[in-house]
């Protein structure tokens, strides 16, 4: 099956710093999502990004599908950005619909 | 806004009990999914359904069954709960096959403890 690797596994920042999270995947995929898991466990959708670049406030993401990686940028980090960030790749088949395979996540801690 | 709801946030059951976890979505999505999340093992797919009364095994279906009688509702059943099924359970939904529209949306999760 498809392998998804995220780096770094852990990241500690001071408030105001910028960071880049990376996601590598082992095969062609139909799409890719980035999530933030909040302290209560809910997965919050950040980006749905098959290729190219998208921005949403202080967050942006870039996927280079031909080279099988995606990057999540967090600028001017805040303590509320703390949590686990997951990359998940999407593939689908005629009968199986769309399936996600998740990376292990990056644990981000932003200190005041 | 897409809304996926799960019947309980926290649940405590005894070994051997039959457990039902319910998930409802309001976006008319064809696909629905059940995952479990465990420390060190990440999120793993248990079962999914791409239509009413249809189901497919995911990566770890053993010990679980599912039911999809209505499009908006997908139930996960633990026939005889065991302690190794203590976990966080997450439900998700998405459109089946739409150009640019396969994004999955997740519910808030159910933390199940089996004692």
Q: Is B102 exposed, middle or buried (0-12, 13-18, 19+ CB in 10 A)?
A: buried
Q: How confident is the model at residue B99 (pLDDT cuts 50, 70, 90)?
A: low
Q: State the best of A9, A23, A97 to mutate against chain B, taking most chain B CBs within 10 Å.
A: A97
3-state class of A27 per DSSP? Answer: coil
- Mean of pLDDT over chain B: 92
pLDDT score for A70: 97
Q: Across the interface, which of B42, B58, B105 has its CB nearest the CB of A102?
A: B42
Q: φ and ψ at A22, to 5 degrees?
A: -120, 145
pLDDT score for B103: 86
**CA count, 13 A, side-chain hemisphere, A94:** 0
The whole-angstrom distance between B28's CA and the closest CA on chain A is 15
Q: φ and ψ at A69, to 5 degrees?
A: -150, 160
Asked whether the beta carbons of residue B102 and residue A45 sit closer than 8 angstroms, the reply is no
For residue A40, the chain B residues in CB contact (below 8 A) are: 108-109
B75 and B25 in contact (C-beta within 8 Å)?
Answer: no
pLDDT > 70: percent of chain B:
95
Q: Across the interface, which of A43, A48, A97 has its CB nearest the CB of B96?
A: A97
pLDDT, one tens digit per residue, over B23-78 is 999 999 999 999 999 988 889 999 999 889 999 998 899 999 999 999 999 999 99
CA A68 to CA A86: how far, in whole Å? Answer: 16
Q: How confident is the model at residue A90 (pLDDT cuts 50, 70, 90)?
A: confident
Q: Summarize the confidence of residues B89-101 as an average pLDDT.
A: 78
Q: Is the dihedral of CA A107, B104, B113, A41 positive or negative?
A: positive
Q: How confident is the model at residue B95 (pLDDT cuts 50, 70, 90)?
A: confident
Asked whether the beta carbons of residue A97 and residue B105 sit closer than 8 angstroms, the reply is no
Asked whether the beta carbons of residue B106 and residue A86 sit closer than 8 angstroms, the reply is no
| Segments of B40-83 assigned E as strands | 42-49, 56-57, 65-70, 73-78
Asked whether the beta carbons of residue A102 and residue B50 sit closer than 8 angstroms, the reply is no
Asked whether the beta carbons of residue B97 and residue A35 sit closer than 8 angstroms, the reply is no
For residue B97, the chain A residues in CB contact (below 8 A) are: 92, 94, 97-98
CA B78 to CA B85: how far, in whole Å? Answer: 9
pLDDT score for A94: 58
CA angle B100, B102, B103 (to 5 degrees): 100
Pairing of strands A4-7, A52-56: unpaired
3-state class of B105 per DSSP? Answer: strand
pLDDT score for A52: 94
């Amino acid at each position: 099956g498809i392998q998804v690797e995220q780096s770094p596994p852990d990241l500690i920042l001071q408030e105001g710093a910028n960071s880049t999270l990376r996601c590598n995947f082992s095969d062609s995929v139909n799409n890719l999502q980035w999530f933030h898991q909040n302290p209560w466990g809910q997965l919050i959708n950040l980006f749905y990004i098959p290729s190219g670049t998208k921005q949403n406030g202080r967050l942006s993401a870039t996927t280079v599908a031909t080279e099988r990686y995606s990057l999540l940028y967090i600028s001017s980090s805040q303590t509320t950005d703390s949590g686990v960030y997951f990359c998940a790749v999407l593939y689908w088949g005629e009968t199986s619909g769309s399936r996600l395979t998740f990376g292990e996540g990056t644990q981000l801690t932003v200190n005041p | 806004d897409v809304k996926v709801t799960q019947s309980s946030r926290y649940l405590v059951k005894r070994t051997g009990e039959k457990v039902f976890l319910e998930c409802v979505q309001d976006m008319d999505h064809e696909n629905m999914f059940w995952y479990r999340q465990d420390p060190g093992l990440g999120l793993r797919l248990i079962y999914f359904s791409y239509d009413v009364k249809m189901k497919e095994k995911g990566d770890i279906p053993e010990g679980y069954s599912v039911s999809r009688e209505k499009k908006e509702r997908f139930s996960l059943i633990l026939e005889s709960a065991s302690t190794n099924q203590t976990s966080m359970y997450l439900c998700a939904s998405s459109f089946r096959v739409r150009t640019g529209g396969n994004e999955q949306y997740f519910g808030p999760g159910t933390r199940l403890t089996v004692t």
